[in-house]
Amino acid sequence: MVVIMLGAQGTGKGTVAGLISQETKWPQVSTGDIFRKNISEKTELGIEADKYISKGNLVPDTITIPMVKDRLKEQDVKDGVILDGFPRTITQAEKLDEMLSKEGKKVDLVINLTTPMEEIIDRIITRRVCTNQECKATYNTKLHPPKIEGICDKCGSPLKQREDDTDPEAIKRRLEIYEKQTSPLVEYYKNKGVLRTELVSVTANHLGKDVADEVLADINKK
């Protein structure tokens, strides 16, 4: 089964995807993680991706699509996958359809999460992530702080703030680009009949676990 999480950074899609992954045992495939892995390993695609990410711009399809294509060939996504951060454009969605079709698969469910821009910016600035790439737990110093400041509850590794989470103006540019280039995907998947249209708002009062439970109910129906 292929599940897609749509939503700008800070809407909680990574948290929700992680909770769904824990229950289903399907891997959470995040383009952000793919980018960071390639950047840290200084691969050719990673070096190119970093030129865009550091300026708050979307990474072009010529870099993103090959990275995702390689990831979807790995054995652990055979039974199911939760795509977090991909696709971001109609072109990427069409390419994804082509990739899946060749494997006899299709997109089964799309979840769209939205949050006001002011709240998103505050969430991103106060976000902290586990430095252990095997863990990848995410915290928020206001909404979901770790039990011990700066330390991951799950694995005990140090937490850090991502470099691209420190500049409010760069965050705002990312959100504006998202709205312009990615919001048409909502209509694209609505027309395909796979969009979970009633689940479109996530706020501080609508916690990640509540959202994940709703999504899991949809998955069980399918």
Whether 195 maps to a domain, the answer reads yes
How much is the average pLDDT of 135-155? 90
Whether 158 maps to a domain, the answer reads no
Whether 33 maps to a domain, the answer reads yes
For residue range 41-50, what is the model confidence (pLDDT) as tens digits? 999 989 999 9
Whether 146 maps to a domain, the answer reads no
CATH number for the domain that contains residue 72: 3.40.50.300
- Tell me the whole-structure pTM to 2 decimals: 0.75
First to last CA, the chain: 9
- Nearest CA to 50 out of 41, 128, 59 is that of 59
Q: What stretches of the chain adopt beta strand conformation (E)? A: 2-6, 28-30, 81-84, 109-112, 127-130, 138-140, 159-160, 195-196
How much is the average pLDDT of 3-32? 88
- Would you say 95 and 112 are in contact if contact means Cβ atoms under 8 Å apart? no
CA distance 93 to 107: 10
Q: Active-site residue numbers?
A: 13, 88, 127, 162, 174
| Residues facing residue 130 across a β-bridge | 159
Whether 123 maps to a domain, the answer reads no
Lowest mean pLDDT among 101-110, 171-180, 197-206: 197-206
| Banded model confidence at residue 63, pLDDT cuts 50, 70, 90 | very high
How much is the average pLDDT of 87-99? 93
Whether 80 maps to a domain, the answer reads yes
Structural domain span for residue 88? 2-115+168-221
Q: Where are the alpha helices (DSSP H) in 61-207?
A: 61-71, 90-102, 117-125, 168-181, 184-191
How much is the average pLDDT of 80-99? 93
- Choose between 127 and 116: higher pLDDT: 127
How far, rounded to the nearest angstrom, does the alpha carbon of residue 18 sit from its chain's CA centroid?
9
Query: Virtual CA dihedral for 59, 170, 123, 26, nearest 10 degrees?
Result: 10
| Banded model confidence at residue 2, pLDDT cuts 50, 70, 90 | very high
Total structural domains within the chain? 1
